[in-house]
Structure 1
Amino acid sequence: MIKILIIFLVLVGGFFLGPLLQGHQGSAVFEFAKYRVSMSFNSFMILELVGLLCLYLIYCLLNKIFNSKTALGNWLRLKSPKKSIKRVEQAQMLLLEGDYKQAAKLFIKSAKGAKNTTLSYLLAAQAQIDNDELIPANQSLEQAAKSCQPNELFAFQLVQIRLQLKNHEYTTARITLDQLLNEKPRNAEVLRLADQLYYEMGDYQAIIDLLPAMYKAKVYSESQLDQFKQAAYIGRIKQLSTNSDAQTLVKWWNEQPRAILNNMAYQKAMANYLTQLGQANEAEKILKSISKLEQKERT
C-alpha cells in the first residue's frame, strides 16, 4: 500500500512540477451544453484530487453502513439472520437424509447472514469431509479460521484433525492431538481421534498407553475396547518381532502387567513370534504357562 502511495505521489508531482519547470502551466478546456470552461492544468489536477477524495470518503461511509451489523446493514447486504437460521435447519435435515453436498452448500450460504459464521463454515467443512470433498472442506476451514473465536477453537481443531486424517497428514494431526490430549485427556472425541490416528500410523504402543483413558471415558463399549486392546497388543508383539531383536521383545513382554502376561491370546502370539525368531527356550516357557491355564480352565 505504501509503495502504491509513493508511486501515486510521484506521478502527481510530475504533473505539477513538469509544467512549472517549463514556465507554462498548460490549460484544460471543457465544453458542455454550450458552456465553455477553461482552467490551468494545475487547477484541473487539484479539482480532480478533491473529487477523488470525496469519492473515497463516500466509499468509506457506504462500506461502513454495508458492513454494519444493524438491520439496515443486513438489509443492504441482503443478509437476513432469519434466512440463515432457515438454511441451517434445511442443511441439518439434508444431513439426516445423507445429502452431504447440498447440506454443505446451504451451510456456506447461511454463513453470510449468520451471527456465528465460524459455526456455519465448520458445519459445511464437516459435511464435506463426510462426503470426501477434501479440497472444498479445506476452503471452508480457511473461511472458519478468519472468524474463529477462542471459545470456538476446540471445535475448529477437531474438524481440522478429521480433515488431516482424511488427507493422511498424520504428523501434523499428531502435533495437535498430543496437545489436546494434554488439555482434555478425558474428552471422548479427542480419544477416538487419537486412537484412529495411532492405528493409521501403526503406533501400537501409543494405543496401549491410551487404552486406560479410553476405558475410563467409555469411548466405546467394553467389548469393543477389549477387541481394540487385543488387536493393539498382538500388533505390538508382531511389530517388535519384526523391527527389533528377540531381547527387546522379551524385555517388553516382561514389563507388561500380570493381566497381560496371563492372557492366553497374547501368550500364544508371543510363543509364535519367539519361535520364528529362534528363541525356542523362551517360547517353551510361555507354552508351559498356556498349558497350565488350559488345565485350570478344564478343572
Structure 2
Amino acid sequence: MIKILIIFLVLVGGFFLGPLLQGHQGSAVFEFARYRVSMSFYSFIILELIGLLCLYLIYCFFNKIFNSKTALGNWLRLKSPQKSIKRLEQAQMLLLEGDYQQAAKLFIKSAKGAKNTTLSYLLAAQTQIDNNEFIKANQSLEQAARNCQPKALFAFQLVQIRLQLKNREYAAARITLDQLLNEKPRHAEVLKLADQLYYEMSDYQAIIDLLPAMYKAKVYSESQLDLFKQTAYIGRIEQLATNSDVQTLVKWWNSQPRAILNNITYQKAMANYLQQLGQDSEANKLSKSIGKLEAKERT
C-alpha cells in the first residue's frame, strides 16, 4: 500500500512540477449541477494530496481496528471464537460421518477466530491427506507453519511426514524421522511411520534395527510384529544374495542372534539362496540343521 502511494505521488509530482517550472501552473475546472468551480492546477494538486493523505490515514485507522485482537476487531473480521468452536465441532462430526471434503473446509474456516490456528490447519491437512487431496493438504500445512508454536511442532512434523510418505518424498521424510527417532525413540506413531517409510524404501535392515523398539512399545500386536519381522529378514536375505557377494551374506547371517539362526523359516531362505549362489556346502549344513529342528518339533 505504501509503495503504491509513493509511486502515485511521484507521478502526480511530475505533472505538477512540469508546468510549474515553465511558469504555467494551468487551471482545473469542475462543473456539477449548477455550480462551477475553478482553481489553479497548483491548488488542485494540493487538495488532491491532502485527500490522499486523509484516505491513507483512514485506511491505517481501520486496518488497525480490523487486525486488532479485541472483540470489535473479531466482530468486524467476522472472526468469533464461538463460531470457531462451533465450526470445529461440526467438522469433527462430519469427519466421523466420512464427509472429508466438507470437514476439511470447516476446519479451515474454524481457523478464523480460533485461539490455536495451527490446530485447525493441521486437522484440515490430516483430513485432506486421508482423502488423498495432497495439494490442498500441502496448502493447509503451509498455513499451519506460519503460526506454529514449539508445543505444536511435533504434531506438525507427524502430519508433514504422512504427507511426504503419500507423495513418496522419502528422503525428506527420513531426515525428519531420524531426528524424531533420536528424540522420541519409543513413541508409537514415530515408530509406525518409520516402519512404513523403511518398508516402502525396501530398507529391511533398518526395519530389523527398529523391531526391538517396536516390540517394547507394543506398536502392533505380537503376531503382527512377528509377521513384519519375518518379512524383513527374508527381504534382507534376498537383498544381500542379489546385490552383494556371498561372503557379505554369510558374514551378515553369522552376526545375527541365536534365535534368528535357529529359526527354520530363515534357515530355509538362507539355504535356498546359498544353493543358488553355488555354496552347496554351506547350504547342506543349513539343510542338516533344518532337519534336526524339524525332527525336534515332531517329537
Q: TM-score, normalised by structure 2?
A: 0.94
In the TM superposition, residue 3 of structure 1 has moved relative to its aligned partner by 7.1
2:201 pairs with 1:201: yes
- Deviation string 1:68-124 (CA, Å, 9 cap, x unpaired) is 221111211122211211111121112222221221121112111211111111111
Query: How far apart in 2 are the matches of 1:80 and 1:5?
Result: 33
SS in 2 for 1:84: helix
Residues 6/54 of structure 1: CA separation in 2 closer, same or farther (3 Å cut): closer
Residue 82 of structure 1 aligns with an amino acid whose one-letter code is: Q
2:47 pairs with 1:47: yes
2:226 pairs with 1:246: no
RMSD, aligned CA = 1.8
Query: How far apart in 1 are the matches of 2:237 and 2:115?
Result: 52
Q: How does 1:59-138 map to 2 (within 5 A)?
A: 59-138=59-138
Please identify, of 194-203 and 34-43, the stretch whose mean Cα deviation from structure 2 is larger.
Answer: 34-43
1:17 maps to: 17
Q: TM-score, normalised by structure 1?
A: 0.94
Query: How far apart in 2 are the matches of 1:54 and 1:8?
Result: 15
Query: How far apart in 2 are the matches of 1:6 and 1:115?
Result: 36
In the TM superposition, residue 4 of structure 1 has moved relative to its aligned partner by 5.4
SS in 2 for 1:212: helix
Structure 1: stretches of 5+ with no match in the other structure: none
1:222 maps to: 222
Residue 55 of structure 1 aligns with an amino acid whose one-letter code is: L
- Deviation string 1:162-204 (CA, Å, 9 cap, x unpaired) is 1111111111111111111122211111110010010011000
In the TM superposition, residue 42 of structure 1 has moved relative to its aligned partner by 2.3
Please identify, of 251-260 and 42-51, the stretch whose mean Cα deviation from structure 2 is larger.
Answer: 42-51
Residues 4/57 of structure 1: CA separation in 2 closer, same or farther (3 Å cut): closer
Q: How does 1:129-208 map to 2 (within 5 A)?
A: 129-208=129-208
- Deviation string 1:130-153 (CA, Å, 9 cap, x unpaired) is 111112111211221222112111
Percent of paired sites with the same residue: 87
Count of matched residue positions in the alignment of Structure 1 and Structure 2:
299
- Deviation string 1:192-241 (CA, Å, 9 cap, x unpaired) is 00100100110001111111111121111122111111110111001111
Residues 2/33 of structure 1: CA separation in 2 closer, same or farther (3 Å cut): closer
Query: How far apart in 2 are the matches of 1:9 and 1:84?
Result: 42
Residue 64 of structure 1 aligns with an amino acid whose one-letter code is: K
1:236 maps to: 236
Structure 2: stretches of 5+ with no match in the other structure: none
Residue 38 of structure 1 aligns with an amino acid whose one-letter code is: S
SS in 2 for 1:25: coil
Query: How far apart in 1 are the matches of 2:120 and 2:21?
Result: 61
SS in 2 for 1:24: coil
- Deviation string 1:248-287 (CA, Å, 9 cap, x unpaired) is 1111111111111111111111001111111111111111
2:64 pairs with 1:30: no
Query: How far apart in 2 are the matches of 1:2 and 1:101?
Result: 39
SS in 2 for 1:112: coil
SS in 1 for 2:278: coil
Query: How far apart in 2 are the matches of 1:5 and 1:264?
Result: 80
Residue 13 of structure 2 aligns with an amino acid whose one-letter code is: G
Q: How does 1:253-292 map to 2 (within 5 A)?
A: 253-292=253-292
Please identify, of 71-80 and 271-280, the stretch whose mean Cα deviation from structure 2 is larger.
Answer: 71-80
Query: How far apart in 2 are the matches of 1:55 and 1:8?
Result: 14
